[in-house]
Amino acid sequence: MSKFECDLTADLLPVYLDGKASPETVAYIQEHIKACPQCRELYDAMAGEIKIPESPVVINKKIRTPKQRMWRFVVIYCLIFAALVVGVSTILIWGI
Ligand SMILES: [Zn+2]
């Protein structure tokens, strides 16, 4: 493989991966990648980058620190306590 062919492949790979390459370019790149380990490696790296979803951000949002979990517990406990107080007061005031 000549350096020119490898440079050309590297230049065309983003277009190829976007699916916007012409049929001739697609054929050229597929043929070159098959024969050239260096460009195949580059292709694998670029294809891998594109396939990474943005889900880590979503996953991070769901992870709570122990402090956040403690506060959640405190809030729930206070609500239950408030409900009990209201319930008991109601029973005492109305004498049910
Ligand atoms: Zn190459």
| Ion ligand 1 neighbours, Cβ < 5 Å | 1, 6, 36, 39
Q: Does 93 map to a domain?
A: yes
| 67 shares its domain with 43 | no
Q: Report how far ligand 1's centroid is from the alpha carbon of 51 (Å).
A: 22
**Interval 18-60: pLDDT, tens:** 999 999 999 999 999 999 999 999 999 998 876 555 555 555 5
Range of the domain at 35: 3-47
- Which pLDDT tens digit goes with each residue over 71-82? 999 999 999 999
Q: What is the pLDDT of residue 54?
A: 57
The pair of structure tokens assigned to 57 is 């951000």
40 alpha carbon – ligand 1 mean position (Å):
7
Compute the distance from residue 94 Cα to the ligand 1 centre, in Å: 87
Cα-to-centroid distance, 59 and ligand 1 (Å): 38
Q: pTM for this structure?
A: 0.50
**Domains contained in the chain, number:** 2
Each residue's pLDDT tens digit, 49-58: 765 555 555 5
